[in-house]
Chains A and B, each alone.
Chain A
């Protein structure tokens, strides 16, 4: 199973402000009542974006200026809460290809990486700086250089962080580990026999 090597994501950005953006906001629970991930793009931030009667609220994702953005900008502890993979799936289905934030909740980070969505971090001031640049010029082209851990937006250049294992996996095109896990299965079987509890 050959996967794409994800070395770079280039696109326009949209800033979704706030610390501790949780997965219940990203995909409200009622959209989990399904046996597939289909249609999740529309569920993305639904309750933050729409009134009960479907009237759009003010939200960056409803703002026509940011339509077509493929890079999300966020603050600290992005994606906290439940383990639902529906959250990164919803970003992917809505066309997002990378997320830049101050920090990520762990399960969200892992789920996103496994889907080939790089989640890189910048510090608070850098995020705010980039957010201001996007607000001033929504058409700003942002490059998330995953390989060299750099974010470029015209004159601005930031060094970004990414867990080494995720960096490796993305750049080598091994972000979905299933092929390697299958390769290791005979070893897993052998190991299972050495665990005391497998025999009782």
Chain B
């Protein structure tokens, strides 16, 4: 059996009349955007919280990342209202809340793993599609809608149909300047933005095994951009080492029992899969998105498609995407001028992301006229980075060093694009208007490629900018 099936079976409460499974949820994470309405529905139905100790809250989407704007009440009164609402609900129901004065606030998908809340063999849900991130630890984790947030709060269960499982094996060694972000962009490019619908993705192979836990999080984070609601990596020694000593990780005598359980839920060698895809790591280039969905991917030195050269069925969409992005078909994206660069989001804002970029940007300067943000994923990430002096490296190079939050990733807080600005971003979505301006343009890439764009003032190959060689 695969990990997915083992975890699914262990959490199956019963089969519902419509054939779906009533699934028990081990960990429920909530944030200020998708939970207030759920608490509202519960009030209407006079329901309480069934397992308050299994839900944790943080505030990330609407919280400003500039220090002076974080003073309460927030300037945006609706944002203030959402935060107050979440605070009150947590108090009322006894839910632990990583608020902005807790020292542990951050993006929900950064906080869960770093607190040791997310563990192998758990079911993890959150009213947020990037919950797939938590699969990096060997959990079955997926995003849910607000009605399901209500279901989980009030019963710790939800109704769901079982998924199929596709194993995606990436074997070999990634080239210099190629990161987990490039791997997932390449996978989405290959399998399509809806190729994963109905599937859980099991990421495996030597290139995945070689990845750090945080790289695996980047990978699993964007499963949903390929249509797969769940993405996971089987737990191994790296997973256990990552978890040991974290605040909510099992301790003492529990630790050994935990590791035994975690080992037992990994996919069996002879597990069967509904589909298997094999990719050679060496074939994956540093990639960027050029269009308006995360499947619109090219290698940094490759021209963008032109409508004449694509299948008739895709022509209109490609033409529309090029028009929106103000790009000419058939030309490379390299050299495209950027206005803003963003290193952050639940995809790439962890300590290893910041370390990797800091290592290379020393001695460089952000190009004139470029607004360059570095937004750590959590207060703990920020604290650690400052301990290592990374904040100085960034500010000396001309980057702004911010407080934790979702920031530019989506237009719900003061960090937004203006007009048709182009942003080189380490986040996960390049949808039209995603960054708060209806005409704003986003290009997704690895954090180091974002840094390269910041320094050159235009899209650039990080391998050239930083002299990386295989």
Residues of chain A having any CB pair with chain B under 8 Å: 1, 18-20, 22, 24-25, 28-30, 32-37, 47-48, 52, 76-77, 80-86, 88, 103-107, 110-111, 114-115, 124, 163-166, 168-169, 172, 174, 176-178, 180-182, 184-185, 187-189, 191-192, 195-200
Contacts and interface: CB of A to CB of B under 8 A. Distances in A.
Nearest to B160: A110
B194 A33 contact: no
B227 A85 contact: no
B18 A168 contact: yes
Contacts of A52: 438
> Which 4 residue pairs are nearest across A and B when measured between Cβ atoms?
A111-B145, A200-B254, A85-B145, A83-B143
Contacts of A168: 17-19
Given A192-B51, A192-B156, A105 B194 contact: yes
Given A80-B227, A85-B146, A191-B11, A106 B412 contact: no
B82 interface: yes
B436 interface: yes
Nearest to A179: B45
A166 to B, nearest CB: 8
Contact of A188 (B155, B313, B320): B155
5 contacts: A24-B434, A35-B36, A80-B293, A103-B194, A195-B10
Contact of B82 (A28, A33, A110): A33
A178 B17 CA distance: 13
B171 to A, nearest CB: 28
B161 A163 contact: yes
Contacts of B147: 85, 111, 114-115, 176, 178
Given A77-B227, A82-B129, A111-B145, A28 B411 contact: yes
B58 to A, nearest CB: 16
Interface stretch (B104-112, B119-127, B349-357): B119-127
Given A19-B317, A33-B79, A196-B261, A83 B34 contact: yes
Contacts of A30: 411-412, 436
Nearest to A104: B197
A197 to B, nearest CB: 6
Nearest to B83: A35
Contacts of A176: 147
Interface string B141-167: 001111110110011111111000000
A187 B10 contact: no
A194 B431 CA distance: 43
Contacts of A195: 10-11, 24, 26
Nearest to A84: B34
Contacts of B79: 33
Interface string B85-124: 1000000000000000000000000000000000101100
Contacts of A178: 45, 147, 150-151, 154-155
A197 B145 contact: no
Nearest to B21: A165
A107 B22 contact: no
B78 A177 contact: no
A118 to B, nearest CB: 13
A185 B157 CA distance: 8
Contacts of B144: 83, 107, 110
A181 B151 contact: yes
B210 interface: no
A35 B18 contact: no
B14 interface: yes
Contact of A197 (B258, B429, B432): B258
Contact of A81 (B10, B37, B431): B431
Give the most central of B128, B194, B320, B412: most A CB within 10 Å: B194
Contacts of B17: 168, 172, 174, 180
B24 A192 contact: yes
Contacts of A35: 36-37, 40, 81-82, 85
Nearest to B295: A20
